[in-house]
Amino acid sequence: MFVLFQVVIPIFAIILCGFLAGRLSLLPLNGVQSLNYFVYYFALPALLFSSLSTAPVDQITNWNFILTNLCIILSCFVLTIILFKFIFKKKFPELSMYGMITTYGNTGFLGIPLLIAAFGHEAAVPAAIVTFIYDLSIVTLVIVSFEVAKVMNKKHDEQEKILPLFGLIVKSVVLNPINASLLLGIIVAISQIPIPQSVYVFTEVLGPAAGPTALFALGLGLSSERNVLRNKQYHLSEFIVLLSLKLIILPLLAILFVYYIFPVEDHLWAVSVVILSALPTGAIVYVFAEKYNTLVKQVPLYILATTVISIITISIFLVIMIE
């Protein structure tokens, strides 16, 4: 109960404040985009750079931790593909989009702020590493699967017009502000490049705004999503399986790997993996759904449903993991 009142309730109270601000018209709903842009382009990159650039090199190059996260991601991704291929008779490359729904969590706007609010800035390093692993592995799998299918369906003379896979992966993974700040922080930490104190003052002042702003913006955004609930273009059985895989099976796989298969000695790092695995589906999944014109009408509902239900499931995992 101590964990519930000291950690869980305050975090989700911030989300509730954002939700009430929207429902009571205290803030314009179009302000969500501005708040998210502030977090995405400024506050969160500043926080992640500050955390990683000053982290010990042995933490950043923790290969056991990296391997563990890759195994968790790939296990759930493959499990999703098997279930949807043989039970729901889905086809390639649509299967990879289902895999993305069940493995790609909202780490930037919910996971990292939530962990920092719960455990302090010490949680930023493992959260940042996990975020980059998720981006690199899942985005690469989805891009490769759709682009390969596109090449196979094109005539030979049209194939040269397709953007090279490597360029797409770099653009989607490396060049976004969050991952760019991660890479820059890693380079600074490993190379020991001297950084002016003014830079650290800037990031240490700006970075802490990422957590509460992202959580508040999440609540504000939820207050405007009532139209999504009217979407009827989904199958209930698929819906339940996707929610179960994302919010229950994936974090259980994380517990299995970090505590039994590849034990992570640092408790905070182990907890970070489990909580980040329990996150709802990230909004970037909709970007890929639109890009490849796959599940465009279903994905917003999946994102909203996993976000709302995760308030309960994340609370349960937080209580279990901390106590």
CATH number of the structural domain spanning residue 57: 1.20.1530
Total number of residues shown for the chain: 323
- Helix 299-322 and helix 94-103, axial crossing angle in degrees, nearest 10: 30
**286 Cβ contact partners less than 8 Å away, ≥ 6 residues apart:** 296, 299, 300, 303
Write out the two tokens for 290.
């639109």
Q: Is the peptide bond before 164 cis (omega within 30 degrees of 0)?
A: no
DSSP letter for 105, please.
Answer: B
Three-state DSSP class for 240? helix
Please give the mean pLDDT across all residues of the chain: 84
DSSP letters of 74-85?
A: HHHHHHHHHHHH
The per-residue pLDDT string of the chain (323 residues; one tens digit each, 9 = 90 and over) reads: 555 556 667 877 888 898 899 888 888 877 788 888 888 889 888 988 888 888 888 888 889 999 999 999 999 999 999 999 999 999 888 899 999 999 999 887 788 888 888 888 888 889 989 988 888 889 888 888 887 777 677 654 444 445 566 676 677 667 778 888 888 988 998 888 888 899 889 998 998 888 788 888 878 877 776 665 566 666 788 989 999 999 999 999 999 999 999 999 899 999 999 999 999 998 888 888 888 888 888 888 888 889 889 888 998 898 888 76
Number of domains in the chain: 1
Please report where in the chains the tokens 């380079």 appear, as a residue. 187
Please report where in the chains the tokens 């490049």 appear, as a residue. 193
Instruction: Name the CA radius of gyration of the chain, rounded.
Output: 20
d(CA 70, CA 201) in angstroms, rounded, equals 34
Q: Domain of 279?
A: 2-322
pLDDT tens digit sequence for 189-223: 888 888 889 988 999 899 888 878 888 887 887 77
pTM over 0.85: no
CB distance 68 to 264 below 8 Å: yes
Tell me how far apart the terminal alpha carbons of the chain are, to the nearest angstrom: 9
pLDDT tens digit sequence for 273-300: 999 999 999 888 888 888 888 888 888 8
d(CA 262, CA 116) in angstroms, rounded, equals 24
